[in-house]
Chain A
Amino acid sequence: MLAEKVNLYQELAKELAKEFAPKAAHWDETRTYCHENIKSLVKARFDGHDYSQGIRGPGGFIL
């Protein structure tokens, strides 16, 4: 399989997805808007990293 360059936006999204998955049924059942998830999305952007320039090295993210 061809190796793809790691995209740090995507890596961050995978982390956020772990937080969002357990709550997805709640928003559906209660028909409520997920303000809580939005706070996490806003916070993630404010991490201040330039994700577009990132590559992953053996010890983790190199930014």
Chain B
Amino acid sequence: MGMTIPKEYGGLGASFYDCALVIEEIAKACTLTARIVVEANMGGISAVMAYGTHEQKAFCAPIVLAGDKPAICITEPDAGSAATEMQTTARKSGDRYILNGTKHWITGGGVSKLHLVFARVLDENGNEEGIGGFIVHHDPDARIEPKGFEVVRRERTMGLCGMPEAELKFSDLEVGEAFLLRPSAGLKRSFAQLMEAYNSQRVGAGTIAMGVAAGALDRAKDYLKMREQFGRPLAEFQGLQWMVADMDASVHASRLMLREAAKTAQVSATGFPDMMMAARAKLFASEAAIKVVNDALQMFGARGYGDQEPLERMYRDVRMFTIGGGTAQILRTQVAGNLLDIKTPQTREGYVDAADIGSVRAVGE
């Protein structure tokens, strides 16, 4: 917990690369715990450590180091992949902001104490200033229950069943001005800058998927050598040999892409993994992992389909990673935008050159 938090705030000052190595090992054993490791080191907390004031860092670090998994609150009922269409507002009122809105599919909602809530920031006259991130502390066990903060309900999920996915509602929730994260680019560019932190989360999520796949592959290899049919071990059947070779190639390629992306954080200006590499790695790893786990389950036959083995759980768990933290489709769109040097997704107004956001021209011109 908090291994990437700088040493001056009590952490270990570890790199995202080191963290990825840990996540892989934990994911082989328990997807749920690996998810917690990701969110206690990447995503929301890494945004605070990169862009926060000294006071914000000093406030958040001890909470995470004591075992909290912060919740990053972006998704809304009408703003999923189109995150910038969010409706939650934070209106300035004296030395505080008043938050109103609903967030859903909030990972850890109800158990997380720290929340990084994204909202449209309005000045006292209601003029929009950009999208900002607000640090909200909610800890009923310590009787920290800010008025206007409500955990509405928990979703029932296919996998990662121990992790709450909740709907949160903010009704005139007051947050002190000191808890607004203000990246150096200012509020107008705040969302884009805060989302740089999400590139680390994507490397983390992809690494969980890869780790689960690596765990499934390990189990499949053992089973092929142990299980006998038609008088010989399954390992001697060429059809299964080729499957296991393909599984290994997929896991290894995923691992290399994810580690390459993680390493870019050590040389990038932002301190976070490169957006393109993170998107590409998570896309590849998450899709590969579903196939690898599915193939491992197939090798176990009926035994894999039942709950005697962990493969059916691993299959349910790993299915999430082409959805959460950027769907495979959104990641493809980002990768394509980078490759083609255009702003994506396209809009009905035409397309925009990434290098010249101001010049909009109609498609086909």
Chain A residues with CB under 8 Å of chain B are 7, 9-10, 12-14, 16-18, 20-21, 23-25, 27-35, 37-39, 41-42, 45, 50-52
Contact = CB atoms under 8 A, between A and B. Distances in A.
A45 B69 CA distance: 15
Contact of B310 (A17, A25, A50): A25
B162 A31 contact: yes
Given A24-B30, A41-B67, A42-B66, A7 B21 contact: yes
Range of interface residues on chain B?
Answer: 35 or more
A32 B67 contact: no
B49 interface: no
6 contacts: A13-B26, A27-B161, A27-B162, A28-B313, A34-B30, A52-B14
A33 B307 contact: no
Contact of B26 (A20, A23, A28): A20
B3 interface: yes
B28 interface: yes
A37 B25 contact: no
Contacts of A9: 3, 14, 18-19, 21-22
A9 B310 CA distance: 25
A50 B13 CA distance: 10
A38 B32 CA distance: 11
B37 interface: yes
B162 A28 contact: yes
A23 B32 CA distance: 11
A33 B108 CA distance: 9
Contacts of B66: 42
A44 to B, nearest CB: 9
Given A17-B26, A34-B162, A51-B12, A41 B21 contact: no
B220 to A, nearest CB: 16
Contacts of B40: 41
B346 to A, nearest CB: 40
Given A7-B18, A10-B22, A24-B32, A41 B65 contact: no
A63 B25 CA distance: 21
A9 B67 CA distance: 18
B351 to A, nearest CB: 44
B29 interface: yes
A33 B162 CA distance: 5
- Greatest chain A CB density within 10 A among B13, B36, B317 is at B36
A28 B33 CA distance: 11
Given A33-B162, A45-B1, A27 B26 contact: no
B4 to A, nearest CB: 11
Nearest to A17: B29
A18 B313 CA distance: 18
Contacts of A10: 18, 21-22, 24-25
Interface in B3-20: 3, 12-14, 18-19
Contacts of B3: 9, 45
B14 A24 contact: no
- Greatest chain B CB density within 10 A among A7, A10, A13, A37 is at A13
Given A18-B29, A33-B111, A39 B14 contact: no
Contacts of A17: 25-26, 28-30
Contacts of A14: 25
A38 B26 contact: no
Given A24-B32, A37-B36, A41-B37, A13 B22 contact: yes
Contacts of A18: 29
Q: Which 3 A-B pairs have the closest CB atoms?
A: A27-B162, A13-B25, A21-B29
